[in-house]
Structure 1
Amino acid sequence: MLRRMGNSAHINLVKLCVGAQQVEDLTRWQAQRMASGFYDQPVHVTRMRPKKEAELLAGGSLYWVFKGVILARQRVVRLDEVRGEDGVLRCGIVLDPDIIRTEPAPRRAFQGWRYLTPEDAPRDLPASRGFEEELPETLARALSDIGLR
């Protein structure tokens, strides 16, 4: 079941943040891409276009998985068509530049992206906790597993 926001329901995506060890890696990578002038907002290009586009654009976010744990999200702004150098049409998921840290939530490895209902999404961390030193991964997972973090 989807949580209603105003008159529309929304859904989220969850995606592995390949090549990034921590949230700062994602922040740095997106800043470099925007500084190059190629994009004015962060864009994640993926092969498939989400079929639940309307629900995603009704307030959904892209939740990022780092080393098996969801740690951050970015609001999805729009979906663009992107044609690669190989001529193949892909989907550009345009994201809000603000990266919001979330409570750690373990996630098994998968390919591509998956839908994530608002009820199953980890809660946002308060902004004041965004730059605290991270707990060791095993402790963060254990706390998350028992609902304490």
Structure 2
Amino acid sequence: MLNLIKLVVGVSSLEELAERQKQSINCRLHPEHGPLPVVHTRSYPRRCDEILDGGSLYRVISGLILCRQPILDIVSETRPDSTQGTLILLSPQIIRVEARALRPFQGWRYLESKDAPPDLGTGATTQAALPPALQKELTLLGL
């Protein structure tokens, strides 16, 4: 199983990400799953089969990996300007993960499962409730 990781631009919290994904412009109708949140990207992953075998999209918000969403499908699209693009269709479920600092990068990257941060358990609400700036500072300090 292989994952992807991508920055979330213009979003400062998981709650804001969830609200943004509910907007019709950020959803696509999937024949099997109904309306799903979608991420637009230029490049199609060459290792698509490995990703679709249970992989997730890990999201970086304000310099921290904070969550993941299972990837349900990856499809090519032709944009209105006739260029090719890719849609990554996600599960609406946002799963919080142990925060991990990450420097900015462009596009998306592959993320091996062994390198991915673990999910937060149901009892680990303290870390998730912290403001992103404080959470980042504590993560950088190793706390």
TM-score range, shorter chain: 0.7 to 0.9
Q: Give the C-alpha shift of residue 89 in structure 1.
A: 1.6
Q: Does 1:26 align with 2:17?
A: yes
Report if aligned partners of 1:101, 1:130 keep a CA contact under 8 Å in 2: no
The residue type equivalent to 1:138 in the other structure is: E
Unaligned runs of 5+ in 2: 30-34
When you count strand as a share of all residues, which structure comes out higher?
2
Q: Give the C-alpha shift of residue 33 in structure 1.
A: 2.7
TM-score normalised by the chain length of structure 2? 0.85
SS at match of 1:54: helix
Partner residue, 1:125: 120
Partner residue, 1:57: 52
Q: Does 1:14 align with 2:9?
A: no
Partner residue, 2:38: 43
Q: Give the C-alpha shift of residue 84 in structure 1.
A: 1.1
Report if aligned partners of 1:101, 1:125 keep a CA contact under 8 Å in 2: yes
The aligned length equals 134
1: CA distance, partners of 2:122 / 2:73: 25
Q: Does 1:100 align with 2:95?
A: yes
SS at match of 1:29: helix
The residue type equivalent to 2:100 in the other structure is: A
Which of 127-136 and 19-28 deviates more?
127-136
C-alpha RMSD of the superposition: 2.0
Report if aligned partners of 1:12, 1:63 keep a CA contact under 8 Å in 2: yes
TM-score normalised by the chain length of structure 1? 0.82
1: CA distance, partners of 2:15 / 2:95: 12
2: CA distance, partners of 1:30 / 1:11: 23
Following superposition, which runs of at least 4 residues in structure 1 exceed 6 angstroms of deviation?
Answer: none
Q: Give the C-alpha shift of residue 32 in structure 1.
A: 1.8
Q: 1:38 to 1:95 in 2, by over 3 A?
A: closer
Unaligned runs of 5+ in 1: 1-9
The CA deviation string for residues 34-88 of structure 1, in whole angstroms up to 9 with x for no partner, is 7x87541001010000010010001110000011110000000011122211111
Q: Does 1:134 align with 2:125?
A: no
